[in-house]
Amino acid sequence: MISQEELHQHSLWPMRLNKFIAYAGICSRRKAEELVKKGSITVNDEIVTQPFIEVLETDIVKYKGDIINISKNYYYLLLNKPKNFISTASDEKNRKSILDLIQESKTERLYPVGRLDRNTTGLILITNDGHFAQKLAHPKNNITKIYRVILDKDVAAGDLEKFQNGGQLDDGFFKPDVVNFVDSNSTKELHIEIHSGKNRIVRRYFEHFGYTVIKLDREYYAGLTKKGLSRGRYRRLTANEIRNLMHLGK
């Protein structure tokens, strides 16, 4: 664990209320705006409905009657996600969550940085540092991600070049950084490197060309790999790894 003082050299205060709620791990900034407008948040025991008012470190902010805080002790965890686990903190269908695998989640309000769908395996970060999570999730930071993909059929002649050139999806044109076969022994198995954080982008991309992704595994995320991390296991990031992630986009 690394202290707030070590990682956040500049003062965060005063801070907009919606940002404070997000940094405290309650929800995203957009959803925080909705909570405030609905009157679900109090500041110093008074209901506020303006999400952009500024709060100080000494103010008492409550949600559903409980005091919320930005944690003084931050956790930065890297999990090798197994299949059939969702990457959200709660689920109305009571499906298994990646947080069930994290011992620290029993005492800390932890949440994933981004998401992997239920059937996708591989690297995902988990933290209680909202500032860190918001930073990594922001598109401007161009986080590099590499996935290992197994398709439902052999790649037809000429289609690898099509994969490399990009395609027009429902939500816009998408072009991966790199697409290549993992090795010469299989034309169903590829590596794809991307920066996009759009929902299900890898699966949708191959579907665009008439292929179904059978297996999808994220092997690389922002300089982090699965080395020494078996499926279903997690570890704390080193101080150096955290600092490198904090400096992305600078």
Structure tokens at 93: 């269908």
pLDDT the model gives residue 5: 44
Q: What percent of the chain has pLDDT over 70?
A: 94
Amino acid occupying residue 83: K
The partner residues of 81 in beta bridges, in order of sequence, read: 122
Structure tokens at 57: 């470190």
pLDDT the model gives residue 138: 76
Q: Is it the case that residue 92 has pLDDT exceeding 90? A: no
pLDDT the model gives residue 182: 96
pLDDT the model gives residue 10: 43
Q: Is it the case that residue 1 has pLDDT exceeding 50? A: no
pLDDT the model gives residue 167: 96
Q: What is the rounded distance in angstroms from the CA atom of residue 120 to the CA atom of residue 60?
A: 40
Closest CA to 12 of 64, 82, 71: 71
Per-residue model confidence as pLDDT tens digits over 64-73: 999 998 877 8
- Reduced to 3 states (helix: H, G, I; strand: E, B; else coil), residue 147 is strand
Q: Is it the case that residue 154 has pLDDT exceeding 70? A: yes
pLDDT the model gives residue 2: 42
Per-residue model confidence as pLDDT tens digits over 2-30: 444 444 444 578 999 998 998 887 887 88
Q: Is it the case that residue 46 has pLDDT exceeding 80? A: yes
Taken in order 57, 68, 36, 246, the sign of the CA dihedral is positive
Do residues 182 and 148 lie in contact, with contact meaning Cβ atoms separated by under 8 Å? yes
Q: How far is CA 199 from the centre of its chain?
A: 11
Segment 125-139 mean pLDDT: 84
Taken in order 32, 35, 39, 41, the sign of the CA dihedral is negative
pLDDT tier, 140 (very low <50, low <70, confident <90, very high otherwise): confident
Q: Which residue segments constitute the domains of the chain, with CATH numbers given?
A: 2-67 (3.10.290.10), 75-140+227-246 (3.30.70.580), 144-221 (3.30.70.1560)
Q: What percent of the chain has pLDDT over 90?
A: 67
Q: Which residues are catalytic?
A: 117
The whole-chain average pLDDT of the chain stands at 89
pTM greater than the 0.85 cutoff = no
pLDDT the model gives residue 69: 86
pLDDT the model gives residue 135: 81
Per-residue model confidence as pLDDT tens digits over 174-183: 999 999 999 9
Structure tokens at 159: 């289609």
Per-residue model confidence as pLDDT tens digits over 196-231: 988 899 999 999 999 999 999 999 999 999 999 999
Q: What is the rounded distance in angstroms from the CA atom of residue 130 to the CA atom of residue 19?
A: 9
| b (16+ CB within 10 A) / e for 18-42 | bbbbbbbbbbebeebbebbeeebbb
Q: Is it the case that residue 63 has pLDDT exceeding 60? A: yes
Q: Is it the case that residue 249 has pLDDT exceeding 80? A: no
First CA to last CA distance, the chain:
23
Higher pLDDT, 222 or 114: 222
Map tokens 């600078």 to a residue.
250
Pairing of strands 66-67, 73-74: unpaired
Q: Is it the case that residue 250 has pLDDT exceeding 70? A: no
